A and B are shown apart, each in its own frame.
Chain A
Amino acid sequence: MADIQTYSHDAGWKNVVLRGLLYLVLILFALYYLFPLIVMISTSLKSLDEIREGSLVSLPRVITFDAWNYAWNEACVGVECTGIKLYFWNSVKMAIPAVLISTFLGAINGYALTKFRFKGANIVFALLLFGCFIPFQVVLLPMSQVLGKLGLASSTSGLVMVHVVYGLCFTTLFFRNYYVSIPDELVKAATIDGAGFFTIFWRIILPISTPIIVVSVIWQFTQIWNDFLFGASFASGANAPMTVALNNIVNTTTGVKQYNVDMAAALLTGLPTLLVYVLAGKYFVRGLTAGSVKG
């Protein structure tokens, strides 16, 4: 009895130490990753004078949102000094249709590939999967030719098309893997009930796809919003997305380097993806657990 007590006492003490060490390591890692963000935020809230005088890591003495205002409304992108807001809306106009269309097409593809299997379905899926591994750079030239022939060069609709085509492989993969786990009997029952391909899709399959729709939307939105290469290649001037505009602001060689404005513009560009994670991440978890919780 006594032996066991001493033993458990020792173990308890060891546990506390180990746990403490674990937290220490985790906190260090968290700080390591958070540090750049902290520097960015604090720099964006400083005035240019303060940046010149103080050190990089010091917190702002006076908090000012001038840099944010300037980045949004007045910053010069190339020769136009209209701020980043114009390009923000370009990105919105590009990302939202591209995300919706690619997610929807991915859902239909996944549904057809699993529940209405046709001859050669496996080959189609293998080819689509192959698309996931093609690097962006490979398709640049052929894509620009296609866009030119379609009359979509240098336009937002052109960019939407590029992102839909490129995203289709991923969204199809997501939905296909999700629908594989849905029993075929569900589709058989609906077929006997008299429902056709699209009725089953709209009325039965899509309503139970929330978790995978959220995954697809998060993935696609992040990819499309953060894309720089396609944006820089296929859209120019006033049609450029926000990432391209940010690059142009930061890389301006004339005048004084306004670090606070650069930081504010970069934060503004990163904000929407962050927001999607915060908002949809919650629905994502909710969607995953909905089936398992009874009552």
Chain B
Amino acid sequence: MASLTLDKVRKAFGPVEVLKEINLAIEDGEFLVLVGPSGCGKSTLLNLIAGLETSSGGEIRIGDRVINDVHPKDRNIAMVFQSYALYPNMTVRKNITFGLEIRGVSNAERDKAVDEVAKLLQIEPLLDRKPAQLSGGQRQRVAMGRALVRDPDIFLFDEPLSNLDAKLRVDMRTEIKKLHQRLGSTIVYVTHDQIEAMTLASRIAVMKGGILQQFDTPQNIYERPNNMFVAGFIGSPSMNFIDATLTEQNGQLAVSIERPGSPITLPLFEAPESYKAYAGKKVVFGIRPEGLTHKRSSSEQNGSQYVNFDSKVEVIEPTGADTMTVIEIGGKEIVARVRPDRAPTPGESMTFSADMSQISLFDPETELRI
């Protein structure tokens, strides 16, 4: 177990910079998820930590030890790969103990270690099978067993669940989380799935184009995204962005959205200081679907900052628990999350409530959070 620090880590393939000055630090026992669209450099970053690729600059530390020039086998890390990378010619037992055998661990100790891990992952009956005889989920477990048996400082997971079917993926996700809680190990986990990132991480690093966009706890990333990319990437359905103007009347700031007829004016009750500078200017108004609901009764509104407005409903998409309602405001399609029993019919006009405590404002030029 150990902490991990990345200090101004860079990576370039020839003239192409794939990672630009990444700074990250996690404590012992943290679960860091690197998330981003494909090509954002998250897997390259993981390979740098593993030592499978060498960095072009910066410093990587495990605990207090600088590991930039340490061979992968001496970094005391273990890695689980997307394709599992089980050795096809060896039995499950051999697969798990291969690393120990190379390191000269005695037979008796190896047997003891493999039994413990097999029990933990419930793969005892599979120990004498070959990888070709296992299902996807079983292979996944064996791949994790191979990492666990070494008891490393840091576990590295490279999209370990993306080859599994949807149902199994959710089960394994829970299992990885349980495992982390039980072992308290330090984990770096790469995924492109924002739900995996939200559910697993103690801290998330959102990446795009080789640049770290935001590094924070899942809740902070969800509620206070640094920029429009993070806001749109995290959360499903994703955040609504509406072009608007920030107006000020008698010291009361409000978001004003143009539309045919009368504009919608949504007053901001507890506006932070930073909003003041944008008074009278264009902004991008961001609100998550759950911040836009059917009209709340006054008892439901207690303590919250709901503002009501009317809009015509275009399409409804029931999901069971909620009904996603598509409305058009300011020339854009906006998704609101409505309770099924309050769901409208398409074409009908309805009153919606916007929860103004859950909104984000962005600068339309820089796309950064105001």
Contacts and interface: CB of A to CB of B under 8 A. Distances in A.
Interface string A179-219: 00001011011111111000100011001100000000000
B52 A191 contact: yes
A255 to B, nearest CB: 58
B195 interface: no
A120 interface: no
B229 interface: no
Identify whether the interface residues of B are mostly helix, strand, loop, or mixed. mixed
Contact of A194 (B52, B99, B132, B133): B99
B283 interface: no
Contacts of B98: 190, 193, 195, 203
Contacts of A294: 132-133
B271 interface: no
A295 interface: yes
B132 A291 contact: yes
A188 B102 contact: no
A194 B81 contact: no
Nearest to A291: B132
B79 A189 contact: yes
B132 A208 contact: no
Interface residues of B, number: 22
Contacts of A208: 88-89
Given A185-B83, A291-B132, A295-B133, A192 B89 contact: no
Nearest to A189: B85
Contacts of A190: 87, 98
Contacts of A193: 73, 98-99, 102, 146
B72 interface: yes
Nearest to B94: A203
Contact of A183 (B83, B99, B102, B146): B83
Interface in B207-254: none
Contacts of A204: 87, 89
Given A195-B73, A203-B87, 5 more contacts: A183-B83, A185-B81, A192-B78, A204-B89, A207-B89
20 contacts: A183-B83, A185-B83, A186-B85, A188-B50, A189-B87, A191-B73, A192-B50, A192-B72, A192-B99, A193-B98, A193-B99, A194-B73, A195-B102, A199-B102, A203-B87, A203-B98, A204-B87, A204-B89, A294-B132, A294-B133
Interface of B: 50-52, 72-73, 77-79, 81-83, 85, 87-89, 98-99, 102-103, 132-133, 146
**Cβ-closest 8 pairs across A and B:** A193-B99, A194-B73, A207-B89, A185-B85, A189-B85, A194-B102, A185-B81, A192-B72
